[in-house]
Amino acid sequence: MEFPEKPKEVEILPENIPLDILYEDKDIVVVNKSAGMITHPTPSFTSGTLVNALMYHCKDFQGISGELRPGIVHRLDKDTSGVIVVAKNDKAHQSLSKQFKDRVTEKVYAAIVKGIVKKDYGTIEVPVGRNPVVRTKMAAVDWGKNALTYFKVLRRFKDATLVFAYPKTGRTHQIRIHMKYIGHPLLGDELYGSGKKDEIYGATRQMLHALRLSFYHPTTEEKMTFVAPLPEDFKRVLKILSEIY
């Protein structure tokens, strides 16, 4: 009788980093990620990431592709806060990956953008690809991958607009690129907006928050929806904007 090989451990060290866990069971863990936290280790950032924290807080990872590690099926930028779901085993990883690929998941982001967005609703369908000049950035380019975002205006301020963004594809920096494309970059966005100049509004990072995420549970197939409340820095910017006349 042959036994399956025990999943091998990878060089991701568990770290006791506080996490806001919204839900957890044997298949998945849903986290309200704080701004400033990288999702997955990179050659430049080997510690302090969401994966390092999950390796400490969750003791029942069953292995993803033979490795004892969390299964990352989607990512949030370092300075984007909000809901992210992580798989604990191969079955959950495959199920969630397929749902994201097939656009079964439903994602809603809250964003504060510069200027006054005139339309109450809008559709942005512009390809997104690697910036040909600055390789660390993305851009709206003809040769990029198709990208689709819907948006709805919630409130207009004197200098900015609060919108809900509904990305139907999952391209890197998609919402940030798309809002810039229509002339309304995210408040506080150092790569695609005014960056530190927006600190006069209290924005010390891009004002983007993954507010709501819906998907089907990989085992029960029940539709699940998770909401991450707006973080304090996001609410503080809204308060400052509301006081500007």
pLDDT tens digit string along 196-234? 999 999 999 999 999 999 999 999 999 999 999 999 999
Residues 124 and 55 both lie in one domain: no
pLDDT for residue 67: 72
Neighbours of 150 (CB within 10 A): 16
Whether residues 114 and 217 fall in one domain: yes
Is 60 exceeded by the pLDDT of residue 175? yes
Residues 142 and 72 in one domain: no
72 and 170 housed in the same domain: no
Termini Cα distance of the chain? 76
What's the number of domains the chain is made of?
Answer: 2
pLDDT at 77 over 60: yes
Residues 76 and 171 in one domain: no
* Pair 64, 148 in one domain: no
Catalytic residue among 27, 77, 79, 189: 77
Among 87, 102, 117, give the residue marking a domain's end. Answer: 102
Strand partners of residue 140:
128
Are 117 and 211 in the same domain?
Answer: yes
Is residue 77 flagged as an active site residue? yes
Q: Is 239 found in the same domain as 152?
A: yes
How far apart are the C-alpha atoms of 43 and 51, rounded to whole Å?
Answer: 14
For the chain, list the strands marked E by DSSP. Answer: 8-9, 21-24, 28-33, 67-68, 71-72, 81-87, 106-114, 121-125, 128-130, 138-140, 148-156, 160-167, 208-216, 223-227
Asked if the model's pLDDT at residue 2 lies above 80, the reply is no
Give the residue from 102, 133, 151 where a domain finishes: 102
Is the CB of residue 108 less than 8 Å from the CB of residue 162? no
Supply 139's token pair: 């851009």
Q: pLDDT band at 68, cuts 50/70/90? A: low
40, 3: one domain: yes
Q: Are residues 91 and 202 in the same domain?
A: no
Statement to judge: residues 107 and 66 lie in one domain: no
What is the C-alpha to C-alpha distance for residues 240 and 148, in angstroms, rounded to an integer? Answer: 31
**Quick check: 245 and 156 in contact, CB under 8 A?**
no
Is beta strand 71-72 parallel, antiparallel or unpaired with respect to 160-167? unpaired
Residue 162 CB coordination number (10 Å): 21
pLDDT, tens digit (0-9, with 9 covering 90-100), for 37-49? 999 888 888 899 9
Element (H, E) at 241: helix 232-242
**Shared-domain flag, residues 120 and 73:** no
Domain end call among 85, 102, 119 = 102
Contact 208, 186 (CB under 8 A): yes
CA 107 to chain centre: 9
The reported pLDDT for the residue numbered 36 is: 96
pLDDT at 9 over 50: no
Average pLDDT, the chain: 92
66 — pLDDT class (breaks 50, 70, 90): low
Per-residue pLDDT tens digits for 118-151: 999 999 999 999 998 888 899 999 999 999 999 9
The strand pairing partners of 161, in sequence order, are 113, 156
CATH number at residue 21: 3.30.2350.10
- Structural domain containing residue 2: 1-102
